[in-house]
Structure 1
Amino acid sequence: MKKILIVEDEKAIGKVLSAYLRKEGFEIMLAENGRQALDLFAEWKPALVLLDVMLPGFDGWELLSRIRSQSSCPVIMLTALGQVEQKLKGFSGGADDYITKPFAPEEVVARVHAILRRPSPMMDTDSVYFGSLKIDFHAHTVSLHGTQLDLLPRDLSLLLFLAKHPNQTLTREQLLDYVWGIEYEGSDRAVDLSIKRLRQVLREWDEEEGEIKTLRGLGYQFSVYK
C-alpha cells in the first residue's frame, strides 16, 4: 500500500482528500504545518506529498526546498495562488504538479495516479555527468563543455525529466503529464517542438557521449553512452 503525506492546515480539505485517497487504497498521514510535515516525511517515507503553499510557520515553498534537499519524492502543490509566475516558481523549485484551489477531489486523485504511474528516477543526486554534459538536478542547471546553457523553463523541465530516466523510452503522454501538466489540452506536438529546441541547444554534445533519440511510434529516449 503506497503512502501519501497530505500537508494542509485547513482540516476540512485534509479530511476530504484523505477520504477519497483511502478509497483508492492509499495509506494517508496528515500534517498541519511544515515542522510536523518534515518529521513525518523523514520517519514515514511517503511515496508522494500533497503540499499546501500557505502553511503556519514556514510555508510550502520552504518545505518543498527542504524535501528536495534530501529526496526526489513526487510533490504536488495545492494552493489558491493560480498565477503563472507562482506555477513556474513551484516547478522551478522541484514540484511535480500544481493544483489550484478550489479543486474537485476526483481531480487530485487522478493527478496522484498519473504521477505515481511515471517511471521511478534511476538517480537521486545533485549533479550527474554524461560525458561533457553536466546536469544539476537540485540547482536545475545544465552545462555543456563547462558553459551553462540558457533553456526555456519547459525545455529545462523536459530535459531534467529525460535525464533522470536515461536509456528509458518515455511516451509523449508521460512527457506531457510531467512538463505541461495533466490539465494540458493542447497538441502533443508541443513535445516534438521542445525536443527540437533541446537538440539545437545540445548540438555540440559529442554524439559518442549521448543523444535524445526518437523511437518512432513509441516516444523519446535520453540515450547515454558514457
Structure 2
Amino acid sequence: MKVLVVEDEFAISKVLKAYLQKVGYDVIQVYDGNDALEKFQEFYPDLVLLDVMLPNKDGWEILKEIRAVSNCPVIMLTALGDVNYRLEGLAIGADDYIPKPFVADEVVARVKAVLRRTKSDNDNPVKRFGKLEINIKAHQVLVDGKDITLTPRDLSVLLFLAENPNQTFTREQLIEHIWGWDYDGSDRAVDLAIKRIRKSLQGWPSSEGEIKTLRGLGYQLSVYKK
C-alpha cells in the first residue's frame, strides 16, 4: 500500500518514511503545500499523512482539495494543540489527528488502524448507491432491480469506479488499471466507455449520483445517496 507524506520538516519526513517503509509501505514525500495535490493525483496513495503548517498552502486547504476529488484516508499532523484545530480537521474530513511531537511507532500504528478500518468498510462485494446496485464479485449491475448489460471492458471501468466512489481518476490511470500498460491505443477509448456507461445507467436517478467529468482532472462515480 502507498502512503503520501506531506511534511515540510525534512527530518520528520525522513523518519516517517523510514518507519513506514520498514513495515512494507511504499512512501512518497512532499515538502511544499503547492505540490501536494499534484503528487496526490500522480501517486494515487492509499493514505495521506498531512502536516497542517506547510509553506505556500496549509493542510486545511489541501485536505479540502483532496476531499473534492477523493475519499482517500487522511491523517493530520500538527504542533497546534488547541482542540479547536483538531475539530476543524475532523469536520473538513480528516480520518485521524496526531499532535506533535509524536512517536513514529504510534504514527505507524495509526496508519495501520485507519487502513484496516477503510478496508473493512470496502470489503462488501455489493455496492448500493440508491437504485444502482453493483455486485463486484458477480460482475452484475442492476438499476431499480433490472439487469444492465455492459461490454466486458465497460463493466470493468464501472466496477473500478464503484470500488472507489467519489474518487477522481485521469484517463491515464483508468487505462493503466483497466486496459493495462501495454495498451497502445487512444485515450479516447476511456471517453467512449464512459459515454456508453452513462447511457446504460440512464434509469439511475440523478439525485442519487452520476458519473461525473471533472474538467482537467478526470472521471469519478459521484454518489449523493447510498
TM-score norm. by structure 2 comes to 0.53
Match of 1:96 in 2: 95
Moved over 4 A (4+): none
Which residue number in structure 2 is paired with residue 178 of structure 1? none
After superposition, where does 1:31-70 map in structure 2 within 5 Å?
A: 31-70=30-69
Tell me what 1:223 maps to: none
Cα distance 1:63–1:25, how it changes in 2: closer, same or farther (>3 A)? Answer: same
1:92-123 superposed Cα distances (whole Å, 9 cap, x missing partner): 0000000000000000000000001014455x
Cα RMSD, aligned residues only: 1.9
Aligned residues: 126
Name the CA distance, whole Å, in 1 between partners of 2:130 and 2:98.
33
CA distance in 2, matches of 1:129, 1:96: 25
TM-score normalized by the length of structure 1: 0.53
Alpha-carbon distance in structure 1 between the residues aligned to 2:130 and 2:84: 30
Partner residue in 2 for 1:17: 16
Which position in structure 2 is the counterpart of 1:87? 86
The 2-side partners of 1:31 and 1:37 are apart by 6
Distance apart, 1:83 and its partner CA = 1.3
Partner of 2:74: 75
Once the two structures are superposed, residues 145-165 of structure 1 have per-residue CA deviations (whole angstroms, 9 ceiling, x without a partner) of xxxxxxxxxxxxxxxxxxx9x
**How far apart, in 1, do the equivalents of 2:76 and 2:41 lie?**
19
Q: What code does the residue aligned with 2:14 have?
A: K
- How many Å separate the matches in 2 of 1:46 and 1:102? 24
Unmatched runs of 5 consecutive residues or more in structure 2: 123-128, 132-164, 166-225
Deviation at 1:129, TM superposition (A): 6.1
Alignment of 1:162-201 (within 5 A): none
DSSP 3-state at the match of 1:77: strand
Q: 1:188-213: per-residue Cα shift (whole Å, max 9, x none)?
A: xxxxxxxxxxxxxxxxxxxxxxxxxx
Compare CA radii of gyration and give the structure with the larger one: 2
SS at match of 2:97: strand
Match of 1:118 in 2: 117
Could you say which residue in structure 1 is the equivalent of 2:179? none
Secondary structure of 2:65's partner?
A: helix
Q: Counterparts of 1:33 and 1:70 in 2: how far apart (Å)?
A: 20
- Structure 1 spans left out of the alignment, 5+ residues: 123-127, 131-163, 165-225
Aligned partners of 1:119 and 1:31: how far apart in 2?
A: 23
For residue 118 of structure 1, give the secondary structure of its aligned residue in structure 2: helix
Distance in structure 1 (CA, Å) of the matches to 2:41 and 2:47: 13
Q: In 1, distance between residues paired with 2:75 and 2:43?
A: 18
Identify the range of structure 1 (8-17 vs 33-42) with the bigger mean alpha-carbon deviation: 33-42
Instruction: Give a deviation string over 1:11-70, Cα, whole Å, max 9, x none.
Output: 000000000000000000000112211111001100000000000011000000000000
